[in-house]
Amino acid sequence: MKATDMEAISRRSFSLSMATGIAGASTAVTKTANEVPVGPMVGHLSTDQVRLWYRPADAGSHTLAIRDVSGPLIAKKMGEAIADNDRCVIWDIAGLKPATRYRYDIEANGKTVVGGDDYFFKTAPEDNSRTRVCLAFGSCAESKPLALWTQMADRRAEGLVLLGDTPYIDSTVLQVARKKHREFLSIPELSRFMRQRPVWGTWDDHDFGRNNSDGNLPGKKNTRQAFVEYRANQTYGENGQGVYTKFRYGPVEVFLLDTRWFAGTEPSLVDAKKPTLLGRRQWDWLLKSLGKSTAPFKLITSGMIWDDKKKGKSDDWMTYSHERAALFDFLGKNKISGAVLIGGDIHCSRLLRYKTEQQVGYPIHQFIVSPIHDGTIPSLNVPHPDLIKGAAIPHVWLRLEVDSSKTPVTLHAEWVQMNGRKMWGLNLTQQQLTKI
């Protein structure tokens, strides 16, 4: 994490060693009469580390304890719930073992406020292990009870990637953004999922601030502050700018792009006569990260879709087609295998297979998954020469399973509808996404 974000985090959770006490005094905070705790939530985890998030009902000191499933204490840390960060507390725990289950509890004022057999997590498998992993992806969700979140757990999703409009905020007022995040993370079914499984996320326009907004939106610092407070990603952009991040989970690496913060704020690095989408800093980060990745599959995700929304819409990758083309050129030139695109936003679900064999060395696929809620926009399910499947169906999420226990490594993508409505799926191998 960069220094600017560490400063923000330190106000909500003092980073302490296992044996130390509290690094500073708590700050008084006003609580409404009916306020209840939110969380806990398992955030970013790796083979040997985990981030845990919690927003207690009361300010003050809170202690996280991590235990082996058989009972012995593994780690203990204290953090402060203070007003500056809306009482959101994040703990970072290191020194864990890969693919290992741990229990946790939280104490305050000598009492256990979170605990029991329902509170546990499992660290990520080793990068090169022969294993099978499963992740859920989704976008466009309201803050209402929904069986879909339970379905993800029932279908053995080990983690969740939120692609944006999760939640709908549509404001740049800090207190409004905080309230909307609290409501979203209080969905009962989602709350049960996230107390045991990691949740990562980026944003799209409605949680960035306004519909179809770009980086010139006044007040975007407020929505970023709320995002940093209410998400437990490993990083949030760089130097206080943007929220992009990445994580490795066994045979897959996920790159969560920020297609709002920098959009339209400066000339593009690849064409100075046109505006940027990703911005210079995020562009450099993405290319370097892709170049270093050894994962068989590299999932490049964003809130917006990777082609033309049409219908007079401009918040899509084709509005910035110069950067999309440059990204494809980079993949081909550097022989980067296993790249798959994922998008959300349009309240339709689609599968596209681009004819990029000459440019990249293999066909690039795009998986679009939207919406989690029940509001569809059939007019955005537009014709496209590379469209394989498409439909405007409510309550949909994407289930991705990557299996490295056999050769070649395989990826199975399945669009899942909450009520069992038949959709579609796709199998890909690492060989099919490798430049010859």
Give the model confidence (pLDDT) of 165-188 as tens digits: 999 999 999 999 999 999 999 999
**Any idea what DSSP says for residue 212?**
T
Q: Kindly report, residue by residue over 298-352, the tens digit of the pLDDT.
A: 999 999 999 999 887 889 999 999 999 999 999 999 999 999 999 999 999 999 9
- Cα–Cα distance measured from residue 192 to residue 343, given in angstroms and rounded to the nearest whole number: 25
- Cα–Cα distance measured from residue 145 to residue 151, given in angstroms and rounded to the nearest whole number: 13
Instruction: Please compute the mean of the pLDDT values over residues 359-381 and round it to a whole number.
Output: 98
For 116, the token pair is 């029991």
% of the chain residues with pLDDT over 90: 90
- Cα–Cα distance measured from residue 353 to residue 341, given in angstroms and rounded to the nearest whole number: 10
**Any idea what DSSP says for residue 404?**
-
Q: What is the pLDDT of residue 287?
A: 98
For 51, the token pair is 């981030």
Q: What phi and psi, each to the nearest 5 degrees, are found at residue 175?
A: -65, -35
% of the chain residues with pLDDT over 70: 92
As to burial, measured by CB atoms within 10 angstroms (0-12 exposed, 13-18 middle, 19+ buried), residue 72 is exposed
Higher-scoring residue by pLDDT: 13, 356: 356
Q: What is the pLDDT of residue 313?
A: 84
Q: What is the pLDDT of residue 436?
A: 77
Cβ partners under 8 Å of residue 361, min gap 6: 331, 332, 335, 434, 435, 436
331 neighbors 290 (Cβ within 8 angstroms): yes
pTM equals 0.92
Q: Which secondary-structure segment (H or E) carries 400? A: strand 396-403
Q: What is the pLDDT of residue 35?
A: 80
Confidence grade of residue 14 (pLDDT, cut at 50, 70, 90)? very low
Integer Rg of the chain from CA: 21
The yes-or-no verdict on residue 31 having pLDDT over 80 is: no
Confidence grade of residue 34 (pLDDT, cut at 50, 70, 90)? low
The yes-or-no verdict on residue 15 having pLDDT over 90 is: no
- Cα–Cα distance measured from residue 253 to residue 259, given in angstroms and rounded to the nearest whole number: 19
Higher-scoring residue by pLDDT: 33, 119: 119
Q: Kindly report, residue by residue over 116-130, the tens digit of the pLDDT.
A: 999 999 999 999 999
- Mean pLDDT, the chain, rounded, equals 92
Q: What is the pLDDT of residue 22?
A: 27
The yes-or-no verdict on residue 232 having pLDDT over 70 is: yes
